[in-house]
Structure 1
Amino acid sequence: MSGIDADFAAMIEQQEAAARVQPAPPLDAIPPDMVRAGYRMQRQAQDQNAPKDVEARDLKVAGGAGEVPARLYRPAGVGDPSGLLVYFHGGGFVIGDLETHDGHCRRLAAGSGCRVLAVDYRLAPEHPFPAGHDDALAATKWAFDHAADLGADPRRIAVGGDSAGGNLAASVALDLRDDPQRKLAFQLLLYPGIWPDEETQSRKDLDGPVLTRAALEWFDKMLAATGHPHAHRALLAKRDVENAPPAFVVTAGFDPLKDEGREYAERLSAAGVPTKHVEYPSLVHDFYIMADVSPAVAAAGEEAAAALKAALA
């Protein structure tokens, strides 16, 4: 695979060799909890060296139908109050949790000097659309309303997420733009899933690595947003983006989602939203939570943290 980061290429080769010896069953044949457990185990094994000087505290925040778990990260030496990033993990709205993204959230907190509130929103298919979106919106409102308890400055609150979490962050940013009491300062969208109306070229051309067509179809089926009366909250391709908060959008060259992420950044810019788009042409989907695979992840993480720091200074 020409042009891919050498360390990720080696990882992919190892995984493909293992799959030839013992092919994985189709996702539909595996209970979602088993898929989640396997994903958690794999990603935790690939991210063992996160900053140690970040305090983490588990708590409960408001969700769309009761409280949901969350984790507040406080970097060493941070002042009170500080900026706050409300963060939503990736995983196609079906997998991923506080543990899969723990190292990533620690790096964002340490690099930005801001607190990070990671939200463990409800997952499909047990909780189909719009449960996760309802939780994301409710948790962000809760963060504004409890900013003092969190040590956060309500004028410096951002939303962020990767992949499906980037979809949640972008959706919340649009839902809150007319709320005078809860004005988001920034949105950090890391290889976001925009769920386009029409298949993009990168979705046509790329079947993996990491994110395959079969996985995308499975996530879409589990979420069950298509045809829902409020599907626009997840299927963001035609949503009006005017007056959205400033954005930092990241895409990866070997990611089926790269075209929709790039197009979303272009739409934000065309609507007058201050937007910076960065593409890492040699990297793959999910790279932020595979920090031990390649030194390129640390460099990209530093750039995202620097953007957050500048936005919430």
Structure 2
Amino acid sequence: MDPELEAFIPLLPRTDLTDPDAYRTMYAEMAAARPAPDTTGLEREDRTVPADPDVPVRVYRPHQAQGAVIWLHGGGWVVGDLDTEHHWAVPMAHLSGAVVITVDFRLAPEHPFPAALDDVYAVLTWVHEHAAELGIDPAKIAVAGHSAGGNLAAAVSLRARDEQGPPICFQVLNEALLDDRQQTWSARNFTDTPWNNRAVRAAALGYYLGSQPATAYAAPARAEDLSGLPPAYIASAEFDPNRDEAIDYALRLLQAGVSVELHQWPGTFHGSLAIQSADVSQRQLAELGAVLRRALAA
């Protein structure tokens, strides 16, 4: 493991999803304790997307934005909101030069699949329909997410293709949880890795799926046809149970004729990007921004 990251492991709280409310409180407190990011040069606005029910979003607008990124938070579909994602949205807006829109999608277990995906699809439709108001090109809308948010980014890309919905120009899947079956080597063997492990995945998937069988929109790795999807940037962490399904998905996209940039980050673990003092985390964050900037400038 990267020595800068390894030094933090004894300080990290263990992920415990047995009590979602308690974990949400802890997660929010951790986010609030972080230093406030520099919002110089950004306009920030909270909006509500009309849907059933309405979906709260937060819009970060840099000067002369080239396009938009719908940024979807992680947290196993169980935790996370507009405030906890503020620390990721601000640097993404600065680094990508794009309008970044974070989504307060409904959380499980109170709202299992497809609630979160329905919310994200409603936001995608709204961004496309309000492109002029947002000051963006409707042909330059990307979706991006971390962990469960990466799942939603992949799923909304599939749904938009299948339903001939709003065009998505690019998808970013960062350490995404894409497969409910837990049969890859990393999913079976990483049982004690920081923040995310086999048991955490099982709990999150159980909350998200409820009693429903998994479909391709819930677990994109189940999709049989990956052709016609947006170009992708896929990143995986070495010590992450999600690692192998992310790599497998990238290979399947390539075999389906979809352009993919794949980066497997050695020495990292799931969510270690949050340890911003580490050199590898700085490089990961810079690359995410640069990838989006290039995609939206194309």
* TM norm. shorter chain > 0.5: yes
Match of 2:212 in 1: 227
Q: Determine helix, strand or coil for the equivalent of 1:244.
A: coil
Match of 1:69 in 2: 56
What CA distance in whole angstroms lies between the structure 2 residues aligned with 1:181 and 1:200? Answer: 32
Note the C-alpha offset of 1:195. Answer: 1.9
1:9 has 2:6 as partner: yes
The 8 Å contact of residues 62 and 135 in structure 1, kept in 2 or not, is answered as no
Match of 1:131 in 2: 115
Q: Determine helix, strand or coil for the equivalent of 1:60.
A: strand
For normalisation by structure 1, the TM-score amounts to 0.88
The 8 Å contact of residues 51 and 110 in structure 1, kept in 2 or not, is answered as no
What CA distance in whole angstroms lies between the structure 1 residues aligned with 2:235 and 2:17? Answer: 28
- Aligned pairs (5 A) from 1:1-80: 4-15=1-12, 27-28=17-18, 30=19, 32-45=20-33, 47-48=34-35, 50-53=37-40, 54-63=42-51, 65-75=52-62, 77-79=63-65
What CA distance in whole angstroms lies between the structure 2 residues aligned with 1:15 and 1:92? Answer: 17
Percent identity over the alignment is: 36
Note the C-alpha offset of 1:223. Answer: 1.0
Match of 1:85 in 2: 69
Q: Which moved more, 1:196-205 or 1:240-249?
A: 196-205
Q: 1:238 to 1:226 in 2, by over 3 A?
A: farther
Match of 2:271 in 1: 286
The 8 Å contact of residues 94 and 124 in structure 1, kept in 2 or not, is answered as yes
What CA distance in whole angstroms lies between the structure 1 residues aligned with 2:258 and 2:159? Answer: 15
Match of 1:210 in 2: 195
Which runs of 4 or more aligned residues in structure 1 lie more than 6 Å from their structure 2 counterparts after TM superposition?
none
What CA distance in whole angstroms lies between the structure 2 residues aligned with 1:60 and 1:291? Answer: 31
What CA distance in whole angstroms lies between the structure 2 residues aligned with 1:162 and 1:101? Answer: 11
Which residue identity does 1:138 align to in structure 2?
A: A
The 8 Å contact of residues 112 and 207 in structure 2, kept in 1 or not, is answered as yes
Q: 1:238 to 1:221 in 2, by over 3 A?
A: closer
Match of 2:230 in 1: 245
- Structure 2 unmatched runs, 5+: none
1:33-76 CA-to-partner distances (Å, cap 9, x unmatched) read 2211101222443x42533223221111144x22111110112x
Aligned residues: 294
Which residue identity does 1:309 align to in structure 2?
A: R
